[in-house]
Amino acid sequence: MIQFIYMDFKQLNKRQELILALIGEQENSSVSEIILEMSVQFKDISRITIIRDLNYLIGLDFIERFGKGRAVVYKLSLKFNLLKPIDTDKYFKISPDKRKSRSKFNFDLLNNFKNIFNKDEKKYLADFLIKYKKNIKKISKDILKSEFERLTIELSWKSSSIEGNTYTLLETESLIRYGKKAKGHKKAEAEMILNHKIALDYIRKNFNSFKNISISKIEDIHCLLMKNLGIKLGLRKLPVGITGTIYRPLDNIYQIREALEFACKIVNKEKDVFSKALILILIISYIQPFNDGNKRTSRFSANAILMAYNICPLSYRSVDEGEYKKAMILFYEQNNLSYFKKIFIEQFEFATKNYFLV
């Protein structure tokens, strides 16, 4: 199993780790403040050593320097906040209202999705992709059809379950394969699941068109997922809240459109396909451009990109719904993708080990 730690973190010594912790606690710190705190932990440490450590951290793009002369202060960089490992158990023991977190949309975040997978992670994903492509070439059309149906069932079940749908996996299979609605469930739950199948069939039929993403293509996916659910389509014009967090997405339709357009440009410019998919799933969820169905739309839009490049889509079958939500909240509140990236990598590994096998 790969170590889900950004490779540059392995290069840090104890002094540098402490400097990052000190700056993080104060939001910004002067050299004198850092020296004072460091001297408590490291006796006889010199100013030159601390300056050298600070410059090293600047070189890694983990911290930024502002001001001149005695007014110089250091702050954690957006890259560091984006990728640093976070103890999720410790983080979520604190109630939403007491956590030190962002409550507003961070426009600067959109410019910092660079090198989000390290070399080890890229190789890890590439190795499973190679195995998947070898398998896909060997299986017959009938098996391919059968396997895609199985993936569709399991994705439809888990994606719906994340949104609170109470259908079981077996009930979902019966609904999709035989059109049999389970007793004791709301009609909307069956509609939600069937919409997943419709959306995935649409993506599969038009997979080449998703090599480049656009607002209209995202809206098409959203429209299919929301069919017959009574959800107003198009970009939202009213504010939305998210359960379990103080984060509030943009509430201005013009800013929503602007942010989504910029996100599409970032995704289209990115060369690494896995990065494209991960960025899109996070940003759609972060912007919350629609009145409902944002996370569903983000998962399917990301899968559309993977399928456009002949990469196995994710079913999320083995993911824990609670952990998925925690990873997303962590991104909302801390603009940190480390936990969701871990889930993404694990789910790609799961998909290639469980579908389209020879």
Q: Is 172 annotated as a binding residue?
A: no
Domain boundaries, the chain: 7-76, 107-354
| 7-76 shares its CATH topology with 107-354 | no
**Tens-digit pLDDT profile for the chain (358 aa)?**
444 444 456 678 899 989 998 998 887 899 899 989 898 888 888 999 999 999 999 988 889 999 988 889 999 888 888 988 888 999 999 999 999 899 999 999 988 898 899 888 999 999 999 999 999 999 999 999 999 999 999 999 999 999 999 999 999 999 999 999 999 999 999 999 999 999 999 999 999 999 999 999 999 999 999 999 999 999 999 999 999 999 999 999 999 999 999 999 999 999 999 999 999 999 999 999 999 999 999 999 999 999 999 999 999 999 999 999 999 999 999 999 999 999 999 999 999 999 998 7
Six-digit token string for 61? 């793009």
- pLDDT one-digit tens code per residue, 308-329: 999 999 999 999 999 999 999 9
- pLDDT one-digit tens code per residue, 204-215: 999 999 999 999
Name the residue type at position 119.
K
Q: Is 299 annotated as a binding residue?
A: yes
pLDDT of 9 reads 67
Q: Look at the domain 107-354 and name its fold.
A: Fic-like fold (1.10.3290)
pLDDT of 182 reads 97
Q: Is 49 annotated as a binding residue?
A: no
Q: Is 293 annotated as a binding residue?
A: yes
Measured CA to CA, the distance from residue 169 to residue 191 in angstroms comes to 15
Decide if domain 7-76 falls under CATH 1.10.10.10.
yes
Q: Is 301 annotated as a binding residue?
A: no
Using DSSP bridges, classify how beta strands 29-30 and 73-76 pair: parallel, antiparallel or unpaired.
antiparallel
Q: Is 234 annotated as a binding residue?
A: no
pTM, rounded to two decimals: 0.89
Q: Is 297 annotated as a binding residue?
A: yes
Q: Is 245 annotated as a binding residue?
A: no
